[in-house]
A and B are shown apart, each in its own frame.
Chain A
């Protein structure tokens, strides 16, 4: 068992990790063919993963319904929603448009899924506004700098803000868009680059840990 659960996966991980890493430096046809084969395999595995997820989803909600756990009624909607989309999809052979008319799955996509997903994303705007009100407080000198920078960026990003700036601070001869551009090009890029470099190094080290089998927690240790 330990061979199947530990040594074989570790050996496969090492082998394919080294080969994939090596293919970056070796430009031969064999190297390219290897990458092509890997890409096709990855695509196939990713496709089958949907099925894995689906079975997992059904199993989990079936358990909730049979055990009558709190909120089990919501689990019923998982099945209702699933069949509401899948049956029309099968009937219309997966096509969203038939010529110039919408199929039943197309209708469901455009008038149900579209509206639901857009609503969910638009909630973000409300959360951002309320979070800004609750959390953006000047409690230190650093927070004050952040506050001023944020204010300028918000003003500079919309035409009304630019008009406000011109009306109140136009006499200074500075354009708010110029200041925003400087903020974006200098402090923002500098800060982000620092985090990016740290992340890149962390990513490389994690990759090596996995290839060489030092990090094994992702496969349940033994």
Chain B
């Protein structure tokens, strides 16, 4: 028995990988439809903030994730866009990650298709081009954004667009949101949110979620979506279930497996030690 346990404790990690793969296949083959009961308070915070903005308010949405973190973060961006357009808010999208430009294009493609078919580019939303230096953008939008963004991603001047009417810097905007798998949300909070008293919220991967707790407590972040669960929560709040909600099954099973493995490994370790 002792030998067997010892072998099990030193199990080839590839077997663990295989088990996880098989486990994750279950919801793909047959969705379990597990309910997403508890909505996170920080997700509700973001939802309430957008809900409280008067129609016509401007939202600055920074899409700062690349395809790597797309499964977790793309559903968050779609849910937020859907909500903002439903509330008749104006949206300015930008990116500070070179690899995200294609994902921004995907969003641009989906807006007229299914997110908000009635919204018009240039009147209700605008997409700003990629800029290589995040710190420069974050400080500049607090002063005069036209000094760093004079055209949109297609090279058209943005100053005369209807969507930019009355907008010169973040003081004229209702909310800033950064969805990212990097540390750019921290920079947005420090360089734009705090410095220019601009309400800011975010979306991040589940791994980084814990790290933003102090920002939420001090009000430096008005709300936060963490990983796929955050996206599922937001989809639940706006009543439009999509990829975030469908990922909940896989999330449940993977979490359960982690718990199972940790508990099992510790029981075996204690067995070897005391029995």
Chain A residues in contact with chain B, CB under 8 A? 32, 35-36, 38-40, 42-43, 45-47, 49-50, 96-97, 100, 106, 109-110, 113-118, 120-122, 124-126, 128-130, 132-134, 136-138, 147, 150-151, 154-155, 157-162, 177, 181, 184-185, 188-189, 192-193, 196
**Number of B interface residues, CB 8 Å?**
63
| Cα distance A14–B69 in the bound complex, in angstroms | 39
User: Given A117-B68, A160-B252, are A189 and B140 neighbors across the interface (CB < 8 Å)?
Assistant: no
Summed over the interface, the residue pairs from A and B with CB atoms below 8 Å come to a total of: 164
B3 within 8 A of A: no
- The answer to whether B148 touches A110 (Cβ under 8 A) is no
Contact call B101/A96, Cβ cutoff below 8 A? yes
Which of A36, A46, A129 is within 8 Å of B133, CB to CB?
A: A46
Q: A43-B131, A46-B133, A184-B210 are in contact. Are A129 and B254 (CB under 8 A)?
A: yes
Q: Given the known inter-chain contacts A137-B266, A158-B229, please indicate yes or no for A39 contacting B35, CB distance below 8 A.
A: no
Report the Cα distance A42→B138, complex, angstroms. 12
Hey, which bits of chain B sit against chain A, CB under 8 A? 11, 13, 16-17, 20, 34-38, 41, 66-71, 99, 101-102, 105-106, 108-109, 131-133, 135-137, 139-140, 143-144, 147-148, 181, 206-207, 210-211, 213-214, 217, 229, 248, 251-259, 261-266, 269-270
Closest to B104 in A: A96
In the assembled complex, the Cα of A115 lies from the Cα of B181 at a distance in Å of 17
Complex Cα–Cα for A35 and B147 (A):
11
Q: In the bound complex, how far is the Cα of B66 from the Cα of A113, in angstroms?
A: 10
B254–A133 touching, CB < 8 Å: no
Asked if B255 and A118 make an inter-chain contact with CB atoms under 8 angstroms apart, the answer reads no
Establish whether residues A136 and B265, one from each chain, have CB atoms under 8 Å apart when the complex forms: yes
For B206, the closest partner residue in chain A by CB is A157
Cα-based distance from A120 to B106 in the complex (angstroms): 21
Is there contact, CB below 8 Å, between B136 and A43? Answer: yes
Determine chain A's interface SS by DSSP, over half rule. helix
Asked whether B38 lies within 8 Å of A162 as measured between CB atoms, the reply is: yes
A133 lies within 8 A of B261 (CB): yes
Residues of the A chain whose Cβ atoms lie less than 8 Å from the Cβ of B257: 129
Would A185 and B217 count as touching, CB distance under 8 A? yes
Distance in angstroms from A46 CB to nearest chain B CB is: 4
Are A114 and B109 in contact, with the CB atoms below 8 A? Answer: no
Chosen A-B contacts, 20 in total, with CB atoms closer than 8 Å, are: A35-B139, A39-B135, A43-B148, A45-B133, A47-B132, A115-B67, A117-B99, A118-B68, A121-B181, A129-B254, A132-B262, A133-B262, A133-B265, A138-B270, A158-B251, A158-B252, A159-B34, A159-B36, A161-B259, A177-B38
A133 neighbours in B (Cβ, 8 Å): 11, 13, 16, 261-262, 264-265
Q: B181 contacts which chain A residues (CB < 8 A)?
A: 121
> What 10 A-B pairs come out closest when comparing CB atoms?
A39-B136, A121-B68, A160-B252, A117-B67, A109-B102, A46-B132, A46-B133, A130-B13, A117-B68, A133-B261
Contacts A130-B16, A155-B259 given; does A118 touch B71 at CB 8 Å: yes
Indicate whether A160 sits within 8 Å of B67 (C-beta atoms), given known contacts A43-B136, A113-B99, A113-B102: no
CB distance from B166 to the nearest CB of A (A): 20
A39-B136, A189-B213 known; 8 other A-B pairs, CB under 8 Å?
A36-B143, A43-B132, A118-B71, A121-B69, A133-B13, A151-B259, A159-B34, A160-B252
Q: Check B213 against A43 for contact (C-beta < 8 Å).
A: no
Q: Report which of B13, B69, B143, B259 forms a contact with A154, defined as CB distance below 8 A.
A: B259
Contact partners of B102 in chain A: CB under 8 A: 96, 106, 109-110, 113-114
A188-B213 in contact given A36-B144, A159-B37 (Cβ < 8 Å): yes
